[in-house]
Structure 1
């Protein structure tokens, strides 16, 4: 049976004091960050697993993807062998909201690292899923990733086919990095336009700030020297002047909007099965989808190199790379 643990990982200490009202929620978020999926269900023959998942595609399944879907596009994951949790952790919502210095540090890191995520492009696996979605082979796609690659791929495939896939058939469970919202007045701004403002505010100062791909984190920020953080200039909301600006993504310690959860449940209800692709399902918001599928007696397939939380509930478990598995499946069903 798959087991998860909250193993201590060495990274920046908490910036929320024990007497702060948000401390308990912040600590719960930290435990979620630290959760590592240790074990996997018993080995399943590759031919049985691959053929079985191919059969699930006949049932119009829902596809649920995680960070392993984006690694072939050059975006690192959190919990893989080279995952970013081995040297740093993402910020919690409580830190972002209540700690001005931590929020400033986040934006300095994001200023340096976001361009790498923006430059990433969908790979053939994204396009395969998008074609399945456009043609009705699958009921839809739910992704934990905030990189927007599924939607970019879907838009591209729809343009090629001269077809508009029904809205709501691609759902970003944790939101997207494409927009910035003000936590004071609620006004939103396009991330690209916001990035231009950041570059203008830091013109000259950041000219020599260069990092390697190894310094990039999966949420678009990067590991940078403290000197760069100190030199960084943050911009303000164009409407109210606040500097409490946040990407429209669900942080650890933040709740997925109810309407989004209801939309996912509706997609799952219309699906004949669930196929998890490239995810450990370590966070509850995604693991809950597998539990709901299991509770409703829908067959489950898992495609992932590493262990996946709850995979003992899956009918078929294919331990392999995401892109090669999707290419094989696409060839079989076409």
Structure 2
């Protein structure tokens, strides 16, 4: 029995599955891993949240980087891995997808927004940091590229930022609480494309394992948690999940 078949048996035996996805599932859609050589974080010094709030210059640089690197993100489409997870959600087998990604590809693959727990936010829209009002990116992009105009909230004139969690910004309480609840309720926890080095998010697999859930890692590279998993597969996510779940 090969690894994909073993994963298939574990999926079929489970009653409540949770997926935990990282950059590795999105790289298969052509989105580069920010941490990899040549990635955004190796080319740019991070802009910390306090600096973004305190400095118009830093806000301007942040939006410049956003629109300079947006083309790849906008062209990306959900891949076989995203579609396989969407199928499990559709069948009622997967209760939620906890993701470290900010690209919105899980939702675009057909997963209801209510089933996706975004730990690091979402880069496909912006929000007001004062009142929380949602702002679409198209008019912000147009005003910034044509006139250099920084966005302010149309409701309260507060500072507008992409709906992502920046360096130094507090993790969102509600998604973190939901992720913990889902982790403790599952009987199979599948890590997909995460290096499991960013905490506190990387603590969820161990939480699931301590609570009695089976623990699977599918990642091209080894992780520090491989020794604790019931099954480790160092292969591409899309083909592996497609075989295990029986979708194209």
Output the TM-score relative to the length of structure 2.
0.87
166, 179, 183: which one aligns with 2:129: 183
The 3-state SS of whatever aligns with 1:145 is: coil
Aligned to 1:287: 202
Aligned to 1:258: 173
Task: Quickly say closer, same or farther: Cα 1:49–1:80, change in 2 above 3 A.
Answer: farther
1:57–1:138 CA contact under 8 A, matched in 2: no
12, 34, 55: which one aligns with 2:9: 55
Instruction: Establish whether residue 141 from structure 1 lines up as the match of residue 57 from structure 2.
Output: no
The 3-state SS of whatever aligns with 2:11 is: helix
Instruction: Establish whether residue 238 from structure 1 lines up as the match of residue 184 from structure 2.
Output: no
Aligned to 1:174: 120
The 3-state SS of whatever aligns with 2:94 is: coil
- Cα distance, 1:255 vs structure 2: 2.2
Task: Quickly say closer, same or farther: Cα 1:112–1:82, change in 2 above 3 A.
Answer: closer
The 3-state SS of whatever aligns with 2:212 is: coil
Write out per-residue CA displacement over residues 198-220 of structure 1, whole angstroms, 9 at most, x where no aligned residue. Answer: 3443xxxxxxxxxxxxxxxxxxx
The 3-state SS of whatever aligns with 2:126 is: strand
How do 1:213-228 and structure 2 match up within 5 A?
none
Q: Using the TM superposition, name which of 76-85 and 306-315 deviates more.
A: 76-85
Write out per-residue CA displacement over residues 238-263 of structure 1, whole angstroms, 9 at most, x where no aligned residue. Answer: 33445x32111122222222221221
What is the rounded CA distance, in whole Å, between the counterparts of 1:269 and 1:168 in structure 2?
Answer: 18
How do 1:9-88 and structure 2 match up within 5 A?
49-58=3-12, 59=14, 60-80=16-36, 83-88=39-44
- Cα distance, 1:72 vs structure 2: 1.6
- Which has the larger Rg? 1
Structure 2: state its 5+ residue gaps: none
- Cα distance, 1:311 vs structure 2: 2.3
Aligned to 1:322: 237
Count of residues in Structure 1 that have an aligned counterpart in Structure 2? 246
- Cα distance, 1:115 vs structure 2: 3.5
Aligned to 1:102: 58
**Aligned-residue RMSD, C-alpha:** 2.4
2:184–2:207 CA contact under 8 A, matched in 1: no
- Cα distance, 1:136 vs structure 2: 1.7
The 3-state SS of whatever aligns with 1:154 is: coil
Q: Using the TM superposition, name which of 185-194 and 279-288 deviates more.
A: 185-194
The 3-state SS of whatever aligns with 1:139 is: strand
What is the rounded CA distance, in whole Å, between the counterparts of 1:90 and 1:73 in structure 2?
Answer: 24
The 3-state SS of whatever aligns with 1:56 is: helix
Task: Quickly say closer, same or farther: Cα 1:63–1:234, change in 2 above 3 A.
Answer: same
2:193–2:220 CA contact under 8 A, matched in 1: yes
The 3-state SS of whatever aligns with 1:281 is: coil
Task: Quickly say closer, same or farther: Cα 1:108–1:302, change in 2 above 3 A.
Answer: same
